[in-house]
């Protein structure tokens, strides 16, 4: 089931909210959410329903055993078993085929490479439970004692399929007790509408431009067209994924859960390190907190940890070399900025830093797009102005003019205009109320327009449901 689906928006979600809010106690509300979350998950991948339940039971049991034996070797044994089980499942389902393909390529063997089924949302719920087990082991949280609540934590439908990676420490207390007020409903509804508009009105239209250029590969695309396509694709990934995150955060807020932000206007950054503090924040913070300081590199721990984080960041996105290259590409620029130091970076003019970061980010998304290494080579030829198709294609003026308003709207929406207005009006209560009403009306309009667009639209699933 897709968030940007009329069935979800006008049947599944309203029915869930009605049953949820008429349920008198938190225990019943949680039961409602578990049932609807499992239905939501089964709608997209019914084969994995039993798996996710067994997976939740395993991690729940291990968490209890770690808690019971905290400070002993048994606790270390149980957390190790949990990590092996969670990471093992991720490796088996998602990366076995990729590993066998590379073995065949390197050693010229002919091992049969089966097509593995990958459970929906595997990368996201695996990382949630890994963070849970480690936090219990490090005594940052207490293990959950009630299995239905833990099952809700692992299956909660706003964040199961495509994130964000919500930690138990964030919503653990709200599993037991939460309230929903008018402000929660307003903020949640407006976030839901904004996220839907990002997806339906902007992202789904941007990807049609990209497909027109790169649908048949990058070989016959001119250099100017390549630059245009990769800029459009960069904005598409942002609006598609941040749109999903907005909808997830909004729905959760209506239900009384307060998820942490996953995007913070990443294109406003002046360094690549800052970009990753603003982009897919839940993934970046996961690797920072659980992987960066793994003590396996000795004196080279600082650089070894950096390499490991960015290798895993790339690999997490998919079983393909382009994702690994993409992760290490960003890791290289993080390393360069680290070696330069904050003092030297501050001396560089802001305009130069903006140009540098946008070029690095845009080229990075080109690497992200092409899973075929040969096509990735053609992409690099294009951006370096050595395209076989020449400097500019015949269709570029038409495509650019026909999509100029979409391009400009997407560009403007990359900037924090609404937060800027809200901040300016902090001391003006009357104006704040008026703007709040006007913004609510705008969000209703966005919901209606997005719904109209969805009536006869070709389905475009959210990009990150693939990861």
Show which residues are catalytic: 317
Please identify which residue in the block is written with the tokens 């902090």: 426
Task: Give the integer Cα–Cα distance in Å for 365 and 363.
Answer: 5
Structure tokens at 224: 């100017």
Q: How far apart are CA 394 and CA 444, in angstroms?
A: 40
Residue 231 tokens, joined: 């800029």
From the number of C-beta atoms within 10 Å of its C-beta (0-12, 13-18, 19+), residue 410 rates as: buried
CA distances 285 to 3, 100, 245, 292, Å, are 25, 31, 16, 10
Asked whether 62 and 81 are in contact (CB, 8 A), the reply is yes
Q: Read off the tokens for 142.
A: 């207490």
Do 445 and 197 contact (CB within 8 A), yes or no?
Answer: no
- Token pair listed for 433: 């109320």
Q: Give which of 467, 463, 466, 461 is closest to 1, Cα–Cα.
A: 461
**What are 15's two structure tokens?**
């029915």
In whole angstroms, what is the distance from residue 148 CA to residue 145 CA? Answer: 9
Question: How far apart (Å, rounded) are the C-alpha atoms in residues 143 and 416?
Answer: 39
Contact 275, 363 (CB under 8 A): no
Count the residues in the chain.
467
CB atoms near residue 241 (< 10 Å): 24
Count Cα neighbours of 102 within 13 Å in the Cβ-side half-sphere: 8
The answer to whether 391 and 222 have CB atoms below 8 angstroms apart is yes
Give the residue ranges of DSSP H helices in 341-386: 342-347, 350-369, 373-383
Cβ–Cβ < 8 Å for 382, 226: yes
Assigned token pair, 234 = 């960069």
* Two structure tokens written together for 331: 């890791």
> If you search the block for the tokens 């399929």, which residue do you land on?
161
* Both tokens assigned to 201: 């009105």
């Amino acid at each position: 089931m897709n968030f940007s689906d009329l069935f979800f928006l006008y049947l599944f979600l309203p029915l869930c909210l009605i049953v949820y809010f008429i349920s008198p106690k938190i225990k019943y509300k949680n039961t409602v959410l578990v049932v609807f979350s499992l239905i939501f998950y089964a709608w997209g991948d019914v084969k994995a329903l039993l798996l996710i339940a067994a997976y939740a039971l395993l991690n729940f049991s291990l968490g209890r055993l770690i808690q019971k034996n905290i400070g002993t070797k048994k606790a270390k044994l149980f957390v190790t078993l949990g990590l092996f089980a969670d990471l093992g499942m991720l490796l088996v389902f998602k990366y076995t085929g990729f590993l066998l393909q590379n073995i065949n390529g390197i050693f010229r063997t002919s091992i049969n490479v089966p097509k593995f089924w990958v459970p929906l949302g595997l990368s996201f719920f695996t990382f949630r439970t890994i963070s849970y087990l480690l936090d219990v082991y490090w005594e940052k949280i207490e293990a959950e004692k009630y299995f239905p609540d833990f099952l809700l934590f692992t299956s909660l439908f706003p964040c199961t399929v495509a994130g964000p990676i919500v930690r138990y420490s964030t919503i653990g207390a709200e599993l037991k007790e939460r309230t929903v007020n008018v402000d929660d409903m307003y903020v949640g509804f407006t976030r839901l509408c904004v996220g839907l508009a990002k997806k339906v009105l902007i992202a789904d239209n941007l990807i049609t431009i990209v497909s027109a250029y790169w649908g048949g590969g990058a070989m016959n695309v001119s250099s100017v067209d390549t630059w245009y396509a990769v800029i459009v694709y960069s904005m598409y990934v942002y609006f598609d994924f941040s749109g999903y995150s907005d909808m997830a955060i909004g729905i959760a807020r209506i239900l009384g859960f307060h998820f942490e932000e996953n995007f913070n206007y990443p294109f406003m950054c002046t360094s690549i390190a800052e970009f990753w503090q603003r982009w897919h924040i839940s993934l970046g913070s996961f690797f920072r907190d659980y992987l960066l300081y793994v003590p396996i590199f000795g004196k080279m721990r600082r650089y070894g940890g950096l390499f490991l984080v960015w290798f895993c960041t790339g690999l997490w996105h998919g079983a393909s070399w382009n994702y690994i290259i993409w992760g290490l590409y960003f890791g290289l620029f993080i390393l360069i900025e680290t070696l330069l130091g904050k003092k030297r970076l501050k001396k560089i003019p802001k305009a130069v830093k903006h140009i540098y970061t946008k070029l690095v980010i845009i080229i990075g998304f080109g690497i992200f797009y092409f899973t075929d290494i040969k096509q990735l080579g053609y992409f690099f030829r294009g951006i370096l102005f050595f395209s076989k198709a020449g400097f500019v294609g015949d269709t570029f003026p038409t495509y650019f003019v026909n999509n100029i308003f979409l391009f400009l709207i997407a560009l403007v929406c990359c900037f924090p205009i609404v937060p800027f207005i809200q901040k300016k009006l902090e001391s003006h209560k009357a104006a704040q109320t008026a703007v709040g009403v006007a913004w609510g009306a705008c969000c209703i309009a966005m919901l209606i327009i997005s719904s109209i667009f969805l009536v006869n639209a070709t389905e475009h699933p959210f990009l990150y449901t693939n990861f």
